[in-house]
């Protein structure tokens, strides 16, 4: 059974029995891995703490990775880097729960994807170290689509609509998957920018909800089996 040292991002953890956790992590070295962390809810003295496995915690792991499809095990873990603000901000915690649910839903491959890993890690560190984060989840999801293969084609920008199905600008306003008017203009403002330019976008509560609905619909059309996140209602209430 190979021992692997890797960076990892916690996607989810589920209680197993009274004392253990089943933890899903996206690792830098080998993609998605599921670990059985035995006794972590009981032991005060063990090397592993339950707090390490909060959604989207960044870890350095030494782990046994099985090749037979059974659950993997963690030998050592440390939180690195440690967040400074995410765990003390209700808004940031809510964003993190929402994003972790989406990532758990859509990332399934058990193979290295360093570019995607770096994007998620860099984004989380940005979220932790900045205060203007109300639109973070919108830009995170839209830019995530680049790594999943369906980022909007930004040619023909002079068109007055955007086809969510085709992922491109269009003038076919009769098509049900085409957004026009306010939704189109709001969505267009997010295209082509990175997090450092997020301050130039100001959405009010209603606009932010509209844009999020458009992005969720976009993901539904491009990812088979994509489920609307349960944490969406919590997110909307925090921003209301």
Of the candidates 8, 7, 26, 11, the one whose C-alpha atom is nearest the C-alpha of residue 100 is: 11
CB 195 within 8 A of CB 130: yes
* Predicted pLDDT at 182: 93
Whole-number pLDDT of residue 45? 74
- Distance, CA of 234 to CA of 27 (rounded, Å): 28
Helix axes 90-106, 136-148, angle to 10 degrees: 20
Task: Please provide the CATH number assigned to the domain covering 86-238.
Answer: 1.20.1440.120
pLDDT digits (tens, 9 = 90+) for 91-129: 999 999 999 999 999 999 989 999 999 999 999 999 999
Domain segments of the chain as ranges: 3-79, 86-238
- Record the tokens describing residue 113, joined without a space: 């994807």
Identify each DSSP E strand in 38-126 by its residue range: 58-64, 73-79
**3-79: which CATH topology?**
OB fold (Dihydrolipoamide Acetyltransferase, E2P) (2.40.50)
* Cβ atoms of 221 and 144 closer than 8 Å: no
pLDDT tens readout for residues 210-223:
999 999 999 999 99
Q: Is the pTM of this model over 0.85?
A: yes
27 pLDDT more than 90: yes
Range 187-208 average pLDDT: 91
Top pLDDT among 67 and 184 is at 184
Q: What pLDDT was estimated at residue 217? A: 96
Structure-block tokens of residue 52: 């390490």
| Per-residue pLDDT at 212 | 95
Arithmetic mean of pLDDT, 161-176:
92
Query: Sorting pLDDT into bands at 50, 70 and 90, what band is 177?
Result: very high
Q: What residues contact 143, with CB distance under 8 A and at least 6 apart?
A: 119, 123, 151, 194
């Amino acid at each position: 059974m190979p021992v692997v040292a890797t960076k990892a991002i916690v996607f989810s953890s589920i209680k197993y029995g009274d004392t253990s956790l089943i933890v899903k992590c996206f690792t830098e070295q080998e993609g998605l891995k599921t670990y059985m962390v035995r006794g972590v809810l009981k032991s005060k003295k063990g090397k592993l703490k339950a707090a390490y496995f909060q959604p989207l915690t960044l870890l350095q792991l030494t782990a046994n990775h099985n090749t037979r499809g059974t659950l993997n095990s963690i030998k050592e873990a440390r939180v690195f880097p440690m967040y400074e603000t995410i765990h003390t901000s209700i808004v940031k915690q809510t964003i993190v729960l929402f994003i972790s649910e989406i990532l758990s839903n859509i990332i399934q491959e058990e193979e290295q994807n360093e570019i995607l890993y770096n994007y998620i890690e860099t984004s989380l560190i940005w979220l932790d170290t900045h205060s203007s984060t109300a639109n973070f989840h919108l830009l995170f999801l839209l830019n995530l689509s680049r790594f999943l293969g369906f980022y909007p084609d930004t040619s023909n920008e002079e068109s007055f609509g955007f086809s969510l199905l085709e992922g491109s600008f269009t003038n076919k306003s009769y098509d049900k998957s085409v957004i026009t008017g306010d939704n189109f203009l709001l969505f267009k403002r997010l295209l082509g920018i990175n997090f450092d330019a997020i301050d130039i976008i100001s959405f009010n509560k209603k606009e932010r909800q509209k844009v999020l609905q458009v992005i969720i619909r976009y993901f539904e059309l491009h990812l088979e089996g994509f489920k609307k996140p349960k944490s969406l209602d919590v997110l909307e209430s925090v921003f209301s």
